[in-house]
C-alpha cells in the first residue's frame, strides 16, 4: 500500500530564505508526483507535476525533483515571500489507481515571516 | 482556464439532515470528477469517482448509500451526504480534469467545510 510522508510538518522562515520541502513515498511504481498548494479553507492549486520518467520540473521560483528509485521528491522554493505562506501537499499517482486516485501526504505548513 | 467551482463553501447542518454539495467545471467538460474528504490533521482521501451518465465508483470503506453522487451533465457533479452525523464533519473537495489520462493535471474546487451538529 502506497504511503506518502512529508517532512517537516511545519516550517517557519524569514522572508528571502531559500527552503526545501521533502516528500517520500513507499512504492516506486508511480505514474507521476504532484506538488500542490492549499491556502486555508481553500482548494488545491497544482504547482508542479513530474512524470515518472522525469527528474525535475521548474516553474518560476519553484523547482521540484523526483528520485523514483529512492522514493523521494523535494520542492525547492527560492527567495521565499510572505505570499508563499500556505500548506504544501505532495501526492503520487500509483500504478493500478485511477486518474483521481492520488495518494496525498499530510502536508507541510509553511509560514514566511516578513 | 480550467476552473472548478464548488458550492457551498461552508455548511452547518443538524444531525439527521441531508446536505448537497455541487461541483461545476466552468469552462471545460469533465466526463469524470473526483470527490475527496479531509479530516482534521489527516491526508486528503479519495472517496469516489463520478462518471457522467453512469454510476459512481466508490473507494473501499465509503458507503455509497450515504454519500450519493450524481453526475447528470458534463459540467456538474453533486455529492449528497444523507442523514448526516457529527462524524461526517469534514472538508469535502472535488476535482476534475480537462482530459483523461494518468498524467493530466487535476483542477480542484475550493472545497466545502461541513459541520454536523
Q: By CA distance, what is A54's nearest residue in B?
A: B103
Measured CA to CA, the distance from residue A112 to residue A18 in angstroms comes to 11
Contacts of A4 in chain B (CB under 8 A): 43
Collapse the DSSP code of A108 into the 3-class scheme (helix H, G, I; strand E, B; otherwise coil) and give the result: strand
Tens place of pLDDT for every residue, chain B, 117 residues?
A: 678 999 999 999 999 999 999 999 998 888 889 999 999 888 899 999 988 888 899 999 999 999 999 988 889 999 999 999 999 999 999 998 766 666 677 889 999 999 999
Please indicate whether, in this complex, the C-beta atoms of B103 and A51 are within 8 angstroms of each other: yes
Measured CA to CA, the distance from residue A84 to residue A14 in angstroms comes to 11
Give the containing element (helix H, strand E) for A64.
Answer: strand A62-67
Measured CA to CA, the distance from residue B107 to residue B2 in angstroms comes to 7
Measured CA to CA, the distance from residue B91 to residue B111 in angstroms comes to 7
Per-residue pLDDT reduced to its tens digit, A23-57:
999 999 998 999 999 998 778 898 999 999 999 99
* DSSP code at position B41: T
Contacts of A42 in chain B (CB under 8 A): 110-111
Handedness of CA A28, B105, B20, B52 (dihedral sign): negative
Cα separation of the two ends of chain A: 41
Instruction: Check if B97 contacts A (Cβ < 8 Å).
Output: yes
Please indicate whether, in this complex, the C-beta atoms of A93 and B102 are within 8 angstroms of each other: yes
Amino acid at each position: 500500500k502506497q504511503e506518502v510522508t512529508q517532512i517537516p510538518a511545519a516550517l517557519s522562515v524569514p522572508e528571502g530564505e531559500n527552503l526545501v520541502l521533502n516528500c517520500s513515498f513507499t512504492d516506486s511504481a508511480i505514474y507521476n508526483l504532484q506538488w500542490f498548494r492549499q491556502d486555508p479553507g481553500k482548494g488545491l492549486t497544482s504547482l508542479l507535476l513530474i512524470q515518472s520518467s522525469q527528474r525535475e520540473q521548474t516553474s518560476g521560483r519553484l523547482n521540484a525533483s523526483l528520485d523514483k528509485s529512492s522514493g523521494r521528491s523535494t520542492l525547492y522554493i527560492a527567495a521565499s515571500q510572505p505570499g508563499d505562506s500556505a500548506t504544501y501537499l505532495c501526492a503520487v499517482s500509483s500504478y493500478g489507481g485511477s486518474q483521481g486516485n492520488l495518494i496525498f501526504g499530510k502536508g507541510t505548513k509553511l509560514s514566511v515571516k516578513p | 482556464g480550467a476552473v472548478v467551482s464548488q458550492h457551498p463553501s461552508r455548511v452547518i447542518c443538524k444531525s439527521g439532515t441531508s446536505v448537497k454539495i455541487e461541483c461545476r467545471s466552468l469552462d471545460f467538460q469533465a466526463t469524470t470528477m473526483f470527490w475527496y474528504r479531509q479530516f482534521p490533521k489527516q491526508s486528503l482521501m479519495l472517496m469516489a469517482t463520478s462518471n457522467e451518465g453512469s454510476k459512481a465508483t466508490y473507494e473501499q470503506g465509503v458507503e455509497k448509500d450515504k454519500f450519493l453522487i450524481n453526475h447528470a451533465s458534463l459540467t456538474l457533479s453533486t455529492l449528497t451526504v444523507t442523514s448526516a452525523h457529527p462524524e461526517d464533519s469534514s472538508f469535502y473537495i472535488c476535482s476534475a480534469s480537462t482530459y483523461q489520462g494518468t498524467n493530466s493535471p487535476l483542477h480542484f474546487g475550493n472545497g466545502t467545510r461541513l459541520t454536523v451538529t
